[in-house]
Amino acid sequence: MDTVVPLDAATAAHGAKAAGLGALRRAGLPVPVGVVVPPSLEDVDLRAAVDGALDALGRRSAVAVRSSATDEDGPRASAAGQYETVLGVTGASDVVAALLACRASAVGPRVTAYRAATSGAPAAGTPAADVAVVVQRLVDARAAGVLFTGGGRTVVEGSWGLGESVVQGTVDPDRWTVVAGRVVEHRTGDKRTRVDRSPGGTRTRDVPAADRDRPCLDDDAVLRLAALGRQVADLRGGPQDVEWAVDDAGTAWLLQARPVTAALPVDRCEREIGPDRGAGRGQAPAHSDDGVLRGTGASGGRASGPARVVRGPDDFGAVRPGDVLVCRETDPAWTPLFGVVAAVVTETGGLLSHAAIVARELRLPAVLGVPAATDALRDAGAVVVDGDAGTVARP
């Protein structure tokens, strides 16, 4: 029967995510040890295969279980956050359950909606992608996040704990811009929560008040990450979207690398931050005297429509074509709404979150990180969202 292969030996047949991580490991870059479960391995054979894999990874180690589908991490469509990821998994039975969840996500509503929105193919009747699954030793991160290379700069976003806070857009992350080996801009976010490994997987907890507006990395660590990002871009031949983690010993790890599918708004980071590199937020007030709300212009363009405040899945049915989606944060399960609304406004999230990446791929104007947006826009009626300026205003 087919069986698992070491991550170092992963090829394109195992999906772009696994193949990319394998290439980085073969190049000597710091990627956690792992294995790949091929899509051809039958469900009934998973338990025996997982037992062998856990012997290789360390049976007591917590692992990350992540999809590596054939239509994921591509040059034009990332499927960022659409397939399943399960972190902090221990024990063969739970790893098998996580593997099955990753495979099942290929036919889930968010992947189906994303595929239809990015390819123009009908949601129904489109064959599901083959899904290999990467099982890697989990990095217990002191800080983690995402970096983008390209355009002569590297933009790094990070927060405390595991990277889920940044990629899911549940925090306002720290952000640095590195040019020519130097940190040229720094904006400290308001990091109120963090995700860490727990005995049952992961848990979300509050960040102590003193750490919320304290940078999660110093400049030296940022420059080391930026240098790793440039190595990845050179190795893979183009701008890269890289997930990273820094452990308690200060070691930087690369968790994922895929092509940048849509460039960041031109000079958005620099224009937004201004010259102040201090510990403050370094941007215009979110609610100004002229009634204009300001945040991070995460996806360019301009659109108008009725502000539709959505607090959870129970509100999805109220969303109409052409509405402006206003929410605290977006979860990957919200992807079907991205194919309906005219623009997106959130209270948290950064330039490199999954929501921002998908919005750019769909050319959907988005302004993220607008504090109290759901209250401010609850009865606003029609609003105009400018994803280049990072503003939300009444017409």
Distance from C-alpha of 232 to C-alpha of 26, rounded to nearest angstrom = 12
Those residues with Cβ within 8 angstroms of residue 10's Cβ, 6 or more apart along the chain or in another chain? 18, 19, 21, 22, 36, 68, 132, 134
Ramachandran quadrant class, 375 (left: phi over 0; alpha: psi -120 to 50; beta: rest) = alpha
pTM greater than 0.75 (yes/no): yes
The pLDDT of residue 237 is 96
More confident residue, 112 or 247: 247
Supply the pLDDT for residue 290: 67
Q: Which two tokens stand for residue 126?
A: 């489109």
Single-letter amino acid code for the residue at 102 = C
**Which one has a higher pLDDT value, 52 or 304?**
304
pLDDT digits (tens, 9 = 90+) for 144-180: 999 999 999 999 999 999 999 999 999 999 999 999 9
Under 8 Å between Cβ of 68 and 17: yes
The whole-number pLDDT of residue 164 equals 95
Query: Catalytic: which of 14, 186, 287, 354?
Result: 354
CB 317 within 8 A of CB 393: no
Q: What is the pLDDT of residues 79-110, one digit of tens each?
A: 888 999 999 999 999 999 999 999 999 998 88
CA distance 160 to 281: 17
If you average pLDDT over residues 288-300, what whole number do you get?
A: 84
Residues 6+ apart with CB under 8 A from 249: none
Assigned superfamily of 284-393: Phosphohistidine domain (3.50.30.10)
Give the start-to-end residue ranges of the domains of the chain: 5-137, 141-259, 284-393
End-to-end CA distance of the chain: 63
Position 49 scores a pLDDT of: 87
Question: Catalytic annotation on 354?
Answer: yes
Is domain 5-137 given the CATH code 3.40.1010.10 in the classification? no
How many alpha carbons lie under 13 Å from residue 296 in its C-beta half-sphere? 29
Query: Best-predicted range by mean pLDDT among 111-115, 246-250, 369-373?
Result: 246-250
Residue 274: predicted pLDDT: 41
Q: How far apart are CA 102 and CA 356, in angstroms?
A: 23
280 has pLDDT over 70: no
**What CATH number should be reported for the domain whose range is 141-259?**
3.30.470.20
